[in-house]
Amino acid sequence: MIAVREWSQKDIGEIAVLETQCFSDPWKEKDFQSVYGLPIAHGVVVEEDGKVIGYAIATFLFEDGEILNVAVSPNYRRQGLAKRLLAWLEERAKSLNAERLFLEVRVSNDSAKSLYAGYGFEQISVRKKYYENGEDALVMQKNL
């Protein structure tokens, strides 16, 4: 059975492993640990039979939320799980009185750009050479 729930510290090891399966420049477990300890950080996992198969993390400060990571295991993509993670973060944002959400996405990541656009995010700018390999990032925003 697939379930969506708030992340806990015990999830961080599985999240870090999943991160390496999904990204070419993954966060390390210590990066997730440091974000987890922040009072402005909120995370959600999607799990099947107790195994983390996706996660999303955002920070919220005043009227803004910034989505830091969204990932779904390659074996579980195209099943609407990323949309469920985004919906959870959006509900959390609204409960914290956020007015908008931001995120960055690689210009080459067409599937993620399509997901975010379909979820109501619009491109507002470009961050040149944002990623370690020199690739640009699109900055996207969704007003709540």
Domain range list for the chain: 2-101
pTM of the model: 0.93
Measure Cα distances from 4 to 34, 44, 135 in Å: 22, 7, 32
Q: Which residue in 19, 55, 90, 116 is the catalytic one?
A: 116
- Stretch 87-112: mean pLDDT, rounded? 96
Q: Is the pLDDT of residue 86 over 90?
A: yes
Q: Which residue in 76, 104, 119, 131 is the catalytic one?
A: 104
Residue-wise pLDDT for 20-55, tens only, equals 999 888 999 999 999 998 999 999 999 999 999 999
Based on the residue annotation, tell me whether 104 is a catalytic residue of this protein.
yes
Based on the residue annotation, tell me whether 14 is a catalytic residue of this protein.
no
Q: Is the pLDDT of residue 18 over 90?
A: yes
The architecture CATH gives domain 2-101 = 3-Layer(aba) Sandwich (3.40)
Q: Quote the pLDDT of residue 132.
A: 86
